[in-house]
Amino acid sequence: MRIETSIKLIPEQPSEAAWAALRHLAAEWNHSHLHRLAEISGMMLQLRIPDSAIADRDEIRALIEKMRSESGVRVYSASRRIYNEQDYREAPFVEIAGVSLDRPGRPFVLNSEEAFGPPVPCIECGWQDIFNAPQRAPFAIDESLFDDALPGGETPLGGWDCVVLPAGRRLFSERLIAALRKADVRALEVEPVLAAHTGRISARAFEISADRAVLVPCSQYEAGVSYCAACGAVLDSPELDEASDSWFTPQAEFRVNSEELAGDEVLSRHPSRAAMLYFAQRAYRIISDARFNGVGQGETIQFCDRN
């Protein structure tokens, strides 16, 4: 695993003079450093560090302080974990991602407006995003896209097995569902989708969801982070401590108490139970080892210290 960090620098008072000063400092930095400052849309500078373990942190802090004193900038930092296959094969739960089959002028889901209602804010904290759109009808899909190659890629033998849908939903192929059912993977829910050209239930794929949503980690106040119990949104997090390594430190990994899961092997981190889906290690290996088409990995969930 490595930690990837992105630091964005935005002028406090955008002006030609401010940008000229920032560009001069960026050019000085880029002349002698591997990780370069890139200008984004004439609005900010971005320093992307693929592996924070090898970053010269003192030099980066000195650069930012120089930009603040000479040009005036606001600093925003975000770090994330980049997992390798060993990390995934050791994690208790792995998020499963898929491919998008949308094409320009040719969407995979043909009834998005009918299938979803407008996003609904959380009744407790007011948080709202596209994942909060309630689904009110089965998806109608263009089945012919199952066998199309991705741009610049090869045609998938037997078709795509894991496809991303609007609002964070997922579609699994019939053969992937059959493999999970044969292994008696627990807590997986399967819903039909429609083949748009016939209006009938598709025999090739199904929408999936979890029996259980886990919205708040067992260590919800770890490092000062608190969560909304109703939707899982982050309510409060520590202020950036520039004297420490917090610029290069991602948010704590999400942790759950295994005893509270009652053996469930599919979890969601969203109230819909259909977005942000994670599979227990046994189920993940079934999916991964069979090399189903289009399956990718995202974040992981760890067990907390209570286990």
Place of tokens 């935005």: 10
Alpha-carbon radius of gyration of the chain:
22
CA distance 191 to 172: 10
In CATH, the architecture of 2-82 is: 2-Layer Sandwich (3.30)
Task: Give residue 22's pLDDT.
Answer: 86
pLDDT tens, per residue, the chain with 307 residues: 999 999 998 888 878 888 888 888 899 999 999 889 999 888 889 999 999 887 788 888 888 888 888 878 888 888 999 999 999 999 999 999 999 999 999 999 999 999 999 999 999 999 998 899 999 999 999 999 999 999 888 889 999 999 999 999 999 999 999 999 999 999 999 999 999 999 999 999 999 999 999 999 987 656 678 899 999 998 887 665 555 567 788 888 899 999 989 999 999 999 999 999 999 999 999 999 999 999 999 999 999 876 5
The structural domains of the chain, with segments of one domain joined by +, span 2-82, 85-214+254-303
User: What is the per-residue pLDDT for 129?
Assistant: 87
Contacts of 71 (CB under 8 A, 6+ apart): 11, 18, 21, 22, 25
Spatial contact of 158 and 175, defined as CB atoms under 8 Å apart: yes
Give the dihedral of Cα atoms 64, 69, 71, 75; nearest 10 deg.
Answer: 40
Half-sphere exposure of 19 (CA within 13 A, CB side): 10
- Give the closest residue to 211 by CA, choosing from 136, 267, 295, 152: 267
Per-residue pLDDT at 57: 83
154-160 CB contacts, 8 Å cutoff, 24+ apart: 156/293, 156/294, 157/293, 158/293, 159/204, 159/293, 160/98, 160/99, 160/101, 160/293, 160/294
The enclosing H or E element of 59 equals helix 57-70
This prediction's pTM: 0.89
pLDDT score recorded for residue 181: 97
**Which pLDDT value is given to residue 264?**
97
CA distances from 166 to 64, 269, 282 (A): 39, 16, 27
Residue 157, pLDDT score: 92
